[in-house]
Structure 1
Amino acid sequence: MKKKTLALVMAACMVASVFAGCGGNGGGSSSGDNNSSGKSLRLVNGKIEVDAQLKELAEAYEKETGTKVTIESMGGGVDIQGQLKNYNQAGNMPDIFVCGGSSDFKNWTDNIVDLSDQEWTKDTELAYKEDGKVYGFPYTQEAIGLCYNADILQKAGIDPKSITGPESMKKAFETLDAKKSELGLTAVLGYSAEPVNLYWSTGNHIFSAYQDGGLQRGDTKYFDMLSKGEIDKTRFNDFSKMVALFNKYSDPNLLVSGTYDQQILNFASGKYAFVTQGSWIGATMTGKDDKDAYKAAGNFKCGILPYAFQEGMDRLESDSPSYWAVTKNDNSDAAKKFLQWCAGDAGQQILVEKAGFVSPFKSSKYVASDPFAQTLTDYQKAGKTSGWTWPGNKEGLAQNALGQVFNDFAQGKIATPEDFTNKMATTIKDYYSK
């Protein structure tokens, strides 16, 4: 989900804009629009970095259909959901707007269209659903996992496909550690358990391996247990052993007090063979922040592995970080037609090749140039993905509880994987009992 220096990947829905000259009424029409279809749509986009590309998408759609689509991109520091509520009160709701997850969608239960009957829903597993009904259009997808430098693994004689569980992961780490000097590595792994600014990485993303790893999409058994303040200690202890491995082989200068920027720059520079992040870091590696370092390191090939803390966990955790919802109004049908077009060939070509999105649609023939896009696309095409349930965890769980436990384990204040499991069990029980 996004660079970034943000505190949470799901923050794609917490962006802002200078709201000047936002035309249109509750139906989304803008004054002065003149097109052959007589329809004009307005879309609120939460990713300002692709504003130009979405406007190109809108222009292509207007040229083909005659329907004008005005893109209103928000970026900065103002909550999109708060601004949307202001629009709603003023009778100025956009026809299509971004929502990050369940908490956002709950704001609009009576205001958005059920999209379950749309043709595109048959082509993706990533649509946002509530009570079996589809309400969110997934325009991109991201994956959480063990990102790797494929060139370094090849030089070390390690096939990424051979890392299928805890023993093979440990063997790969040991091999790389023994060859650090000849491979030019600072450390095998870039993992940080810094609790103030990177709690989202440990307490949401890495913790999600316990919660969702290896499961069929839609399987919520461990999320359901967590909602009761409980964990499966047998499963969690296997997860704890993987975290202990991360503690052992991570860069010690990053482990307990490092920064996100340091973590990604060092990986982009070829100093780590692995990094505990997700597909969104590709934009940082190839963007203005780290592109020079990545180029100097040879623009190496990248991939992502599942956090396989149990043997045979071969599903990559992937989902859409945010969605487009359709407002109930006179333009609903026109908005649905636009989304169907976006899921088709013409829309996908622009969204993938121009905006750099990884398509959530199985039939899409396009692959973004992002370093991690091909791996994510391959897992999707193979039907080997798990969903994300962590966005539904109790508010503040990662920031106020889990992040510090990961940090204590990294510092050695928690001695063993078993102790880490027990501390997590107690912490979660206490947090959910509040």
Structure 2
Amino acid sequence: MKKYFSMFMVVIAFTIVIAGCSNKGASNEASEDGKTTLSLFLTMSNEGEKKAIESLVAKFEEENPDINIDLNLPGGDYEDMLRVKMAANDMPDLFDTHGWSQLRYGEYVADQKEMDWVQYLDPSLNEILKDDSGKVYAFPLNQAKDGITYNANVLEKYGIEVPTTLDEFMTALETVKEKSNGEVTPLWIPGGDKFTIAQIFDELATPLLITDEENSYGKELEDGSFDWSLYTPLAEALVEMQEKGLLNEDVLTAKLQQATELIAQDKIAFTFVAGSLGPDATELNPEVKIGTMPVPAIHEGDTQSWIGGERHTIAIWKDTKHPEEAKKFIEFMAKPENVTIIAEGTSAPDALTNVDAENYFSEYYKKYEAINVQPYFDRVYLPSGMWDVMATTGQELLAGTLTPEQVSKTMGEEYTRLRKQN
């Protein structure tokens, strides 16, 4: 551009660019009022989670009047937005690595190893958030123990024991349908937000393909030799549930935000929706009781698993123009009282050893404390990009445009293609 315009025009163009950047939400310059603005992108999507982080952002800004936090909670669009920003090397000052602190975002994050909070990091997260050189990739707001959420009142009403195997789970769903005369949805899936379908496949892939000694294919998945026909039983199980009327009829259009009201009205027995669903539903109906359980075992003789690792984190963009202000915000978030607020708001365990936060599901985490936490399947065994494939093939399966065998075939083809790109 400089070759063709006068210096005057360059100055004008530069002024326009700067003005445009100031409206993006990312903030590498001080705002007009002299304050520093930090952009913060997080994956939090449930109401309780949003309330918790919004309250802490407001508290931080009150205590630090020279810093603004531009909070962005794009929900299901988060990954697409961050991919665009990575491609442009124009990342938010602070952002959630949501399980991909090293594999996807590693080259974009600043090292936090010198920060005070690191000494209190839960050792179970060391391999996830630290590398062999000691680099610390992100601050964990909490950690994940994902399984299946259930309505304890519904199970008690119909005499259903909390299932421990997939067969028991199917029986429980059938019992709900029969005894409620169809008034209660046995397994509710908000498939209008397709990532929730990927969540189901991702959680159940671990007991199908990893945890049972005689059916463990981690090595094959890592070296690229995995036979994807072994994935088919997951799709078959979901189709069986749909054909038996065990899923909500609006499975392809139902939205995540509907979960709270429906489960509060005792219209849902089981769902893979997690986060703040329990306290959010109890706020609407104090009589409701929401529980959580580990993922059921699939193979005979195997045991249940929690699926987990990092849940929500805050990483610092390595090229932020405001590293000290960014660290100041993380130091604020790492205060025990603020870690507790996040744990309570997200209904997820805290990630620091100097905090012992109680949350809505604490009794269940204690009940199942002997159950091993397995890492998310896609984060360990699949190349970047496969989450979208799981989501899309799952939607097409439930729409009847793909058979279970075609789902596995597509998964295998995309797995091979994406491995070559990564």
User: TM-score, normalising length from structure 2?
Assistant: 0.66
Alignment check: 8 A CA contact 2:108 2:317 kept: no
The Cα of 1:274 is off from its aligned counterpart by 1.5
Q: Which residue of 1 aligns with 2:372?
A: 384
The Cα of 1:263 is off from its aligned counterpart by 6.5
Q: Does 1:260 align with 2:255?
A: yes
The Cα of 1:350 is off from its aligned counterpart by 3.2
Q: Which residue of 1 aligns with 2:199?
A: 205
Q: Does 1:168 align with 2:160?
A: no
Q: Does 1:405 align with 2:401?
A: no
Q: Which residue of 1 aligns with 2:113?
A: 115
Q: Does 1:349 align with 2:340?
A: yes
User: TM-score, normalising length from structure 1?
Assistant: 0.65
Q: Which residue of 2 aligns with 1:279?
A: 275
| Cα offsets for 1:132-187 (capped at 9, x unmatched) | 45312221345543321111112222232xx2113332443344344224xx8334
- Which of 392, 410, 416 is matched with 1:427 structurally? 410
Q: Which residue of 1 aligns with 2:298?
A: 309
Q: Does 1:188 align with 2:186?
A: yes
Alignment check: 8 A CA contact 2:152 2:290 kept: yes
The Cα of 1:271 is off from its aligned counterpart by 1.9
Gaps of 5+ in 2: 1-20, 418-422
Gaps of 5+ in 1: 1-16, 34-39, 415-419
Q: Does 1:225 align with 2:215?
A: no
Alignment check: 8 A CA contact 2:140 2:312 kept: yes
Matches within 5 A, 1:238-257: 239=234, 242-251=237-246, 254=249, 257=252
Query: Structure 2 vs 1, CA of residues 105 and 327 (structure 1 numbering), >3 Å: closer, same or farther?
Result: farther
Q: Does 1:154 align with 2:172?
A: no
The Cα of 1:199 is off from its aligned counterpart by 3.6
Is the partner of 1:431 in helix, strand or coil?
helix
Alignment check: 8 A CA contact 1:41 1:335 kept: no
Opposite residue 149 of structure 1, the aligned amino acid is: N
Q: Which residue of 1 aligns with 2:71?
A: 73
Query: Structure 2 vs 1, CA of residues 104 and 285 (structure 1 numbering), >3 Å: closer, same or farther?
Result: farther
CA distance in 1, matches of 2:325, 2:257: 46
Is the partner of 1:71 in helix, strand or coil?
strand
Is the partner of 1:277 in helix, strand or coil?
coil
Alignment check: 8 A CA contact 1:188 1:273 kept: yes
Is the partner of 1:109 in helix, strand or coil?
helix
CA distance in 1, matches of 2:82, 2:232: 39
Opposite residue 387 of structure 1, the aligned amino acid is: P
Query: Structure 2 vs 1, CA of residues 335 and 390 (structure 1 numbering), >3 Å: closer, same or farther?
Result: same
The Cα of 1:325 is off from its aligned counterpart by 1.3
Alignment check: 8 A CA contact 1:316 1:384 kept: yes
The Cα of 1:244 is off from its aligned counterpart by 4.9
The Cα of 1:426 is off from its aligned counterpart by 2.3
Q: Which residue of 1 aligns with 2:11?
A: none
The Cα of 1:201 is off from its aligned counterpart by 2.6
Is the partner of 2:289 in helix, strand or coil?
coil
CA distance in 2, matches of 1:380, 1:336: 35
| Cα offsets for 1:346-394 (capped at 9, x unmatched) | 33233334x546233264322334xxx3366437854632221425545
CA distance in 1, matches of 2:122, 2:69: 26
RMSD: 4.7
| Cα offsets for 1:8-55 (capped at 9, x unmatched) | xxxxxxxxx994898775xx899867xxxxxx9956243593453223
Opposite residue 165 of structure 2, the aligned amino acid is: G
Query: Structure 2 vs 1, CA of residues 18 and 123 (structure 1 numbering), >3 Å: closer, same or farther?
Result: farther
Q: Which residue of 2 aligns with 1:99?
A: 97
